[in-house]
């Protein structure tokens, strides 16, 4: 696949036609003062992260999912077609928060402490977070949603399951000095660990206090959205800018959504894998995300599979319908946040950035089973099933079924690319990236082809805020950030020459 991208102040080496590795060419000291952006006042900053979102899932990226809020941000802002992540959840979050590559930040893999440099399962003391730096520039800070950069405690056996099943309680889910409130966030509501039951999440805290019960009609995506709105209400009482990090869990497995949301997509995926994939690619080209002569649709990774011969058609169609419903509900809650920013007069001078931590996931929860961060029962004692076989008895959607979309739908979700989360192919490391900033973006609705990486968020926010990246913080020597600011790509209407890579 020939993919045209433009450089963003770094060399790009292509080791295969589908995987990019970045070599950073930055030579200036990380301690040098950043130039404050010339705006009448510092902008508010909202960073929104989805979890396991496919490159083409959103309507504005060619998908069939109803995403009017994100579509609106794209139409009145910018979309990027070459924005990269680390292909995995915790490493991407560490890179986002610190501006360093995951191993430098201490989370080279997941949140287990392996007592090895780069694999401590927590953010190193030689890092500073976006929130810590922005606070020094006068910003109020808040976070809602998935943290997942604290060590995951494993008690083992029945003791772990009783804890996961809400049968026993503990006051902490990791060391408190690894919580968001210890890393620069004034306010926090969300899950410290990774996998959640969307109807009754484990490791849910408000600040540092465990949330021990949730209402019967609780759905976590809504709670994240409502908390984000409440934080904006709180922030606007002060005449100070704010930074809000909204980390949705959706659409990460388990596939769980309110039934009324699933019904909207009940028949959408009856067309099957190949048909949906072809339609997505066609829309990607029509919307100008890519050019058809330079970005071809990769070969379907499962050529021997035919939807007409699929014995599990109902189960597979339902799985993708739930995936779509989860994205739809996330978009609705992003819409509530946008409405609040507009109602409070903050929208024009708020920079909103949207991305995903990695591509869509091929994982099947049945390959892991119960334990670690996966419960065996609901709070009220109902068995949670991890179906190995796709039976009508255990369809995706409810709280009692742990399921994922699997590799075939993941290949579709990441159209036009190959592979998925945890693979260093475009399908794993490429994310939708949307920027909305009425006060700063001069040419709206266009697609940018500059290559950028999740580590670029730190220097971008430094330039937007006028904050200075520290050499020392809380008595620790701080390692330099590794990215480059994207602000010029946001504000510059001139396109740099395209490099073919």
The residue among 194, 220, 264 whose CA lies nearest residue 52 is: 194
Identify the pLDDT of residue 72. 99
CB 78 within 8 A of CB 444: yes
Q: 501 in a domain, yes or no?
A: no
Burial (0-12, 13-18, 19+ Cβ within 10 Å), 13: exposed
Q: 92 in a domain, yes or no?
A: yes
| Residue 215 CB partners (closer than 8 Å, separation 6+) | none
The residue among 465, 458, 499, 491 whose CA lies nearest residue 78 is: 491
| Residue 395 CB partners (closer than 8 Å, separation 6+) | 314, 315, 318, 401
Q: 200 in a domain, yes or no?
A: yes
For every residue of 307-371, DSSP letters joined together read GGG-TTHHHHHHHHHHHHHHHHHHHHHHHHHHHHHHHTT-STTEEEEEEESSS-----GGGT-SB
Q: What is the pLDDT of residues 224-282, one digit of tens each?
A: 999 999 999 999 999 999 999 999 999 999 999 999 999 999 999 999 999 999 999 99
Residues 299-308 have a mean pLDDT of 97
Q: 400 in a domain, yes or no?
A: yes
Give, as one character, the DSSP assignment of residue 59.
Answer: G
Q: What is the pLDDT of residues 20-55, one digit of tens each?
A: 333 333 434 333 434 445 556 899 999 999 999 999
Identify the pLDDT of residue 26. 43
Q: 8 in a domain, yes or no?
A: yes
Identify the pLDDT of residue 14. 33
Identify the pLDDT of residue 16. 33
Identify the pLDDT of residue 485. 98
Q: What is the pLDDT of residues 463-487, one digit of tens each?
A: 999 999 999 999 999 999 999 999 9
- Per-residue confidence at 117, pLDDT binned at 50, 70, 90? confident
CB 136 within 8 A of CB 470: yes
Q: 336 in a domain, yes or no?
A: yes
Identify the pLDDT of residue 492. 85
Identify the pLDDT of residue 187. 98
Convert 452-484 into a string of H (helix), E (strand) and C (coil).
Answer: EEHHHHHHHHHHHHCCCCCCEECCEECCCCCCC
* Placement of tokens 């990791």 in the chain: 174
Which domain CATH number covers 283? 3.40.720.10
What domain range includes position 448? 4-495
Task: Give the number of domains in the chain.
Answer: 1
**Tokens representing residue 211 in the block:** 């949330």
Q: Which positions are annotated as active-site residues?
A: 89, 148
Q: What is the pLDDT of residues 410-457, one digit of tens each?
A: 999 999 999 999 999 999 999 999 999 999 999 999 999 999 999 999
The residue among 94, 119, 124, 95 whose CA lies nearest residue 109 is: 119
Residue 13 pLDDT > 60: no
Range of lowest pLDDT (77-81, 150-154, 185-189, 430-434): 150-154
What CA–CA distance (Å, rounded) separates 453 from 433? Answer: 10
Radius of gyration of the chain (CA): 21
Q: 243 in a domain, yes or no?
A: yes
Q: What is the pLDDT of residues 200-211, one digit of tens each?
A: 999 999 999 999
pTM for this one? Answer: 0.92
Q: 500 in a domain, yes or no?
A: no
């Amino acid at each position: 696949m020939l993919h045209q991208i433009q450089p963003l102040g770094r060399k790009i080496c292509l080791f295969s036609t589908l995987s990019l590795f970045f070599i950073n060419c930055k030579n200036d000291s990380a301690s040098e003062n950043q130039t404050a952006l010339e705006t009448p006042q510092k902008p508010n900053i909202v960073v929104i992260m989805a979890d396991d979102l496919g490159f083409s899932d959103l309507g504005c990226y060619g998908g069939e999912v109803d995403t009017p809020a994100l579509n609106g941000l794209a139409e009145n802002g910018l979309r990027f077609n070459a924005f990269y992540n680390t292909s995995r959840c915790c490493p991407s979050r560490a890179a986002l928060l610190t501006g360093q590559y995951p191993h430098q930040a201490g989370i080279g893999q997941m949140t287990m402490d392996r007592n090895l440099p780069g694999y401590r399962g927590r953010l190193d003391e030689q890092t500073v977070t976006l929130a810590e730096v922005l606070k020094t520039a006068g910003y109020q800070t808040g976070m809602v949603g998935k943290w997942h950069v604290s060590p995951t405690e494993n008690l083992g056996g029945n003791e772990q399951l009783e804890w996961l099943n809400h049968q026993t309680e503990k006051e902490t889910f990791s060391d408190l000095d690894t919580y968001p409130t210890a890393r620069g966030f004034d306010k926090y509501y969300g899950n410290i660990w990774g996998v959640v039951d969307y109807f009754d999440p484990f490791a849910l805290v408000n600040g540092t206090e465990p949330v021990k019960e949730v209402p019967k009609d609780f759905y976590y995506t809504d709670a994240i959205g409502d908390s984000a709105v409440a934080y904006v209400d709180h922030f606007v009482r002060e005449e100070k800018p704010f930074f809000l990090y909204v980390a949705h869990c959706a659409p990460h497995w388990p596939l769980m959504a309110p039934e009324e949301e699933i019904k909207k997509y009940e028949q959408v995926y009856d067309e099957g894998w190949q048909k949906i994939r072809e339609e997505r690619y066609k829309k990607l080209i029509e919307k100008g995300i890519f050019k058809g002569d330079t970005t071809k649709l990769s070969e379907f990774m499962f050529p021997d599979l035919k939807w007409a011969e699929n014995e599990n058609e109902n189960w597979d169609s339902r799985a993708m319908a739930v995936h779509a419903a989860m994205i739809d509900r996330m978009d609705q809650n992003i819409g509530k946040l946008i409405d609040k920013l507009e109602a409070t007069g903050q929208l024009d001078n708020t920079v909103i950035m949207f991305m995903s931590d990695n591509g869509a996931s091929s994982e099947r929860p049945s390959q892991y089973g119960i334990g670690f961060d996966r419960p065996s029962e609901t709070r009220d004692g109902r068995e949670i099933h991890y179906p190995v076989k796709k039976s009508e008895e255990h369809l995706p959607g409810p709280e009692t079924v742990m399921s994922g979309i699997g590799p075939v739908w993941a290949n579709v979700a990441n159209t036009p690319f190959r592979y998925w989360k945890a693979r260093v192919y475009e399908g794993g490391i490429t994310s939708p990236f949307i920027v909305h900033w009425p006060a700063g973006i001069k040419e709206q609705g266009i697609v940018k082809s500059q290559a950028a990486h999740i580590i670029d968020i730190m220097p971008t926010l430094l330039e937007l805020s006028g904050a200075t990246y520290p050499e020392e913080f809380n008595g620790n020597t701080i390692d330099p950030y590794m990215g480059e600011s994207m602000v010029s790509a946001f504000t510059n209407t001139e396109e740099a020459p395209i490099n073919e890579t």
